[in-house]
Amino acid sequence: MYGETANKLVQNAKRTLALPHLPPYQSELIRSVVREVRDLDKDVASLLAPYSGSFNPASSPETACALLVNHLCMRRNKRCLLAYHKVRSDKLEEYCWNGVDVLEQQAQKANGSNAGAGGAAGAESSLSPEEEEYVRQYSDLLAAYKGQWTDIDLTGSLEPPKDLFIDVRVLKDAGEIQTEYGSITLTKNSQFYVRHGDVERLIQQGYLQRLS
């Protein structure tokens, strides 16, 4: 009672900040925090019921104190829930910006463990259904905003460009790509001297490695 469960959520959020991946959504904790808020709200209502709308804090300080504690706890719980969801949605947005397809990763994870455990009790997605929906809609929003700046390529590198051409090594076969200087076939372990802008996406996706 009184904010203990919410504290667990905040600790979880704090841990999430330092993790490279998203830990599973704590739906059980969320539910109990919400339940706590509803109970507190009922408490407040029953405390106030005998006064029928004309409650005077000065005449019964003990009731006033109980009300205050209940109110503060509800607010605190709300804040903790908001913080927890905000940390997670920030992380999801970051994935969208980096071009990581979270939904596909989650699906793969679920499939992989399904196969491993013989189809029994596959690992659930780390995202809640609401979060999956949020990711979908945010990527749409991001794509729409990016579409207005096609010349700039908003998701491009935030490192100041030094060289127009760079050395790259191919880590995975990526097939043939077209550049302004003709086409290049990217086969594993080969090395090329190419224009940075042409291969930026491939580096992000992990097909190529930049050699400094």
Partner 1 sequence: MDIDDLLAEVAVDSTPEESRDLQELTRAWVAERTAPEILNWPEELMERVLERVRRQIELVEDQTGNMDPKTNFKLIVIQTELERFKFLVRSFLRARLNKIDQHPLHIRAQHTASLDSTQPLLSPSELQYLTSHQALLSQHYSASFLSQFPASLQRLDDTTGGISMVDKPDEDRAVFRQMPRIE
Q: Which residues bind partner 1 (CB under 8 A)?
A: 30, 33-34, 37-38, 41, 71, 74-75, 78, 81-82, 85, 89-90, 93, 128, 130-131, 133-134, 137-138, 141, 145, 148-149, 151-154, 156-158, 160-161, 164, 180-181, 195-197
**Residue 13: how many CB atoms within 10 A of its CB?**
20
Q: How far is the CB of 73 from partner 1 (least distance, A)?
A: 11
Q: For residues 121 and 163, which CB has a smaller minimum distance to partner 1 in the complex?
A: 163
165, 196 in Cβ contact below 8 A? Answer: yes
Compute the least distance from the CB of residue 188 to partner 1, in Å.
28
Dig out the tokens for 104 from the structure: 């596909």
Helix (H) or strand (E) holding 30: helix 27-48
Closer to partner 1 at the Cβ: 89 or 113?
Answer: 89
Residue 185 bridge partners (DSSP): 176
Instruction: Rank residues 133 and 173 by Cβ distance to partner 1 and give the closer one.
Output: 133
The pair of three-digit structure tokens given for residue 166, joined into one six-digit string? 């760079």
| Rounded Cα gap, residues 135 and 89, in angstroms | 8
Place of tokens 């959520």: 9
Shortest distance in whole angstroms from residue 116 CB to partner 1: 30
Which residue, 141 or 211, is less far from partner 1 as judged by CB?
Answer: 141
Residue found under tokens 């390529």: 153
CB of 180 to partner 1, least distance (A): 4
Count other Cβ atoms within 10 Å, centred on residue 131.
Answer: 21
| CA 51 – CA 37 distance, rounded (Å) | 22
Amino acid (one-letter) located at 212:
S
| Shortest separation between residue 54's beta carbon and partner 1, angstroms | 19
Residue 101 or 153: which CB sits closer to partner 1? Answer: 153
